[in-house]
Structure 1
Amino acid sequence: MYLTWLDSNSWLIEMGGKRILLDPWLVGPLVFGNINWLFKGSRPQERPIPDRIDLILLSQGLEDHTHPPTLKQLDRSIPVVASPSAAKVVRELGYHQVTTLAHGESFNLDNQVTIQALPGSPIGPFVTENAYFLKELASELTLYYEPHGYHAPVLKEMAPVDVVITPVIDMKVPVLGPIIQGKNSALELAEMVQPQVMLPTAAGGDVTFEGVLMAIIQTMGSTDTLRTQLAASKLSTQLLEPKPGDRVELKLQRRAIAKS
């Protein structure tokens, strides 16, 4: 299995001989609802569009996960698996093969990788977006991704999980509450699913953020803190911090415990 972090929540996952582009933001600024003064993400240079993409996987319909300028640059014939809100966006952009996954539903990618949608981040009072559980069928190695630190109890039934991509810090807006919760939930997740490898997402990288929202966001936690917590809990989980653009090979052991 190979992973390439492309900044923010954007990843290229290579497993089962397939190349899966996850929540891509690769070109142009990141803005919510065209309100530049509230929040704007920028990068010093655009990321190259990866070649030979077999699938685009989208967890949420918001711009930091379903980024219209990036999706306009990609081939509309690439299959897409998405949450209901993200599926609506890509269909409006002209994508031809869009599979919407509700919680509990699965998608089979060429009999090489299965993707199951789990409950993920709540967006307002009525929408809960997707987390994803991926399994490489030949090896039965697994990967779990949730970008805001909201992990459904059903995930415990899938333990152990080999690779976890999750935030490790908290980002909170006073009065409104957490945008991202990773400071405590990352350790709880590690204790729940006993991953071989954890990788942080949603923060850092070669990007800069500005705007009124960034001036009031409170950030807590760090990878160093989590690494200390993992050791104190006697977990053998390896916490990796790849640099943006680096293709990292994960040295994983097949486990005797059967996975669902």
Structure 2
Amino acid sequence: MYLTWLDSNSWLIEIGNQRILLDPWLVGSLIFGNVDWFFKGSRPQERPIPENIDLILLSQGLEDHAHPPTLKQLDRNIKVVASPNAAKVVQGLGYTSVTSLAHGESFTLNNQVEIKAFPGSQIGPTLVENGYLFKELETDLTLYYEPHGYHSPQLKQFAPVDVIITPIMDMGLPLLGPILKGTNSALEVAKWLQPQVMLSTAAAGDVIFEGFLTKFLKTAGSFEEFRSLLEKNNLATKVIEPNPGDRFELRLEKRAVAI
């Protein structure tokens, strides 16, 4: 299994000889609702569009997961699996093969990788987006991704899971509460799933954030603090701090899984 973190929530996951582009923001700025004075993300240089993509996987319909400028640059014939909200975005952009995955539903990619949707981040009072559990069918190796730290107790029945990608640090707004549920939420899911490896997502990497909202964002936690919490809870999980753009291999032990 190879992973490449592409900043923010964006990943290239190579599993089961498949190349899966996850929540890609690679070109242009990140702006919500075309209001750049309120919040804007930019990077010194754009990320190259990865080649030979087998699947685009989208966990949410918001711009930091289903980024319209990036999606417009990608081949509209690439298969897409998405939360129902994100599926509307790519369908509106003219993608030709879109699978909307509701919670509890699964999709199998080229007989190599099974992707199962779980309840993920809550957006507003009623919308719950997707987290995903990947299974490499040949080896039974598994990976779980949820980009805001909202983890469904339904995951417990699929333990152990080999790799978790989720926020490890907290981010929130005064009065409004958490945007990213990091330290405690990550520790809880680590206890549930007993992963071999955890990686943090939703960090800035090389990205520069600006705008009115950034004045009020509060962050807490660190990799060192989280490693200490794992040790105190007798968890042997390895925490990896990826560098943006670097492709690296995860060397995992094969374990029995319950999927």
The TM-score with structure 1 as length reference comes to 0.99
- Equivalent residue letter for 2:50: P
Helix, strand or coil at the partner of 2:183: coil
Please give the root-mean-square deviation of Cα atoms over the aligned residues, in Å. 0.6
Structure 1 unaligned segments of length 5 or more: list them. none
**In the alignment, structure 1 residue 79 sits paired with structure 2 residue 79:** yes
User: What is aligned with 1:62?
Assistant: 62
User: What is aligned with 1:20?
Assistant: 20
Q: CA deviation at 1:116?
A: 0.3
**In the alignment, structure 1 residue 10 sits paired with structure 2 residue 13:** no
User: What is aligned with 1:258?
Assistant: 257
2:212, 2:219 → 1: CA distance?
15
**In the alignment, structure 1 residue 152 sits paired with structure 2 residue 152:** yes
2:176, 2:148 → 1: CA distance?
15
Q: CA deviation at 1:242?
A: 1.1
**In the alignment, structure 1 residue 192 sits paired with structure 2 residue 192:** yes
User: What is aligned with 2:234?
Assistant: 234
- Equivalent residue letter for 1:104: G
The TM-score with structure 2 as length reference comes to 0.99
1:228, 1:44 → 2: CA distance?
33
Helix, strand or coil at the partner of 1:184: helix
| Contact kept in structure 1, 2:168 and 2:221, CA below 8 Å | yes
Superposed CA offset, 1:53-111 (max 9, x none): 00000000000000000000000000000001100000000000000000000001011
User: What is aligned with 1:210?
Assistant: 210
1:20, 1:142 → 2: CA distance?
14
Over the matched positions of the two proteins, sequence identity in percent amounts to 68
1:89, 1:117 → 2: CA distance?
18
List, as ranges, runs of 4+ consecutive aligned residues in structure 1 with deviation greater than 6 Å. Answer: none
- What is the count of residue pairs matched by the alignment? 259
- Equivalent residue letter for 1:91: Q
2:241, 2:257 → 1: CA distance?
28
- In the TM superposition, what are the counterparts of 1:100-111 in structure 2 within 5 Å? 100-111=100-111
User: What is aligned with 1:164?
Assistant: 164
2:22, 2:218 → 1: CA distance?
27
Superposed CA offset, 1:89-137 (max 9, x none): 0000000000000000000101100000000000001100000000000
| Contact kept in structure 2, 1:4 and 1:247, CA below 8 Å | yes
Q: CA deviation at 1:28?
A: 0.3
